[in-house]
Chain A
């Protein structure tokens, strides 16, 4: 066992876990994190496309622009600011890019586990 990763020594503070679970509490925020785990950074516009399409991938519906645009607004006004406040993502308002660069490792690990549990086979 790696002595630095010993289970006896917690790797995440309670505050960090509060933030992580707040971030993961909503499905749209989870899908943002799953996609960013894979690509590290993406435009807010693409994240809106991905979150909308992914959440409907198995119901064979065609997603229309109106549905996607509502999701876009909700991401921009609610979900991304929450993730920014928790220091999980950064959002460059000028370029529209959202990045996972600042995300602490324990939150990445939780998000990866949630992805396997929620979206896995």
Chain B
């Protein structure tokens, strides 16, 4: 199975997001509607007396849309909820090093909320934030295998210091896949699979096997679109991450 096969087979559960806030409907509801693959985004007002910071969103799964009522409000199983202030942070995420101590960044939690959702229009900054989340997990576990793909050699070169430290200060096995040739110096501790072929050039992939801990696995796959944004998906599911690793290895020419 190649990365293309893997990506095309992804099936996101039918999810609804309901934004609760005092009138008017907050702009974040529209952003979630256009930027994520969430099927339905609803808005339900909170009393006008409530402060706008009191707003929150609720993610539900498996709701059946009925024509006469808002689907999310009536059906579907609760998946997660988070305050709108924290949700907004994910749309403009801070990028921190994997070993940074600021581990309670709100965006990390929002990443969990939208885990296993196919996003339609992720930008590079958001993908970098998700990548850092997976790398941070790998850094904390300190063992296991981290696989990362790069569309261009220059992109790997720019990230080299991060991976040198990740590999050098842990027993992590770091594999980097590059679509291009790699004619630069070796990166200590990092196994480079250069000239890996067009599949690698099409996708942004990261996979961490959890180092034996199924609760710490993490995988990200995103495909660049014509407008420079990405369709993407990330998951903590150990089986899906293992399949992603297989697809990554199978895609190397």
Contact = CB atoms under 8 A, between A and B. Distances in A.
Interface of A: 34-35, 37-39, 42-43, 45-46, 48-50, 52-54, 56-65, 68-69, 112, 115-116, 119-121
A50 B46 CA distance: 10
B83 A112 contact: no
B193 interface: no
Contacts of B51: 119-121
Interface of B: 20, 44-47, 49-58, 60, 73-74, 77-86, 106, 109-110, 112-113
7 closest Cβ contacts across the A-B interface?
A53-B81, A60-B86, A116-B49, A121-B51, A63-B81, A57-B83, A53-B56
Contact of B50 (A52, A62, A115): A115
Contacts of B73: 42-43, 46
Nearest to A95: B74
Interface of A is mostly: helix
19 contacts: A34-B47, A38-B45, A38-B46, A39-B45, A45-B78, A48-B78, A49-B81, A50-B20, A53-B20, A53-B57, A57-B55, A60-B106, A64-B80, A65-B80, A115-B47, A119-B47, A119-B50, A119-B54, A120-B49
Contacts of A68: 78, 81
A62 B112 contact: yes
B106 to A, nearest CB: 4
Interface of B is mostly: mixed
Contacts of B85: 58, 60
B86 to A, nearest CB: 4
A21 B134 CA distance: 49
Given A34-B50, A53-B83, 17 more contacts: A38-B46, A39-B45, A45-B78, A46-B73, A46-B74, A49-B58, A50-B20, A53-B57, A58-B83, A60-B86, A60-B109, A63-B80, A115-B47, A115-B50, A116-B49, A120-B50, A121-B51
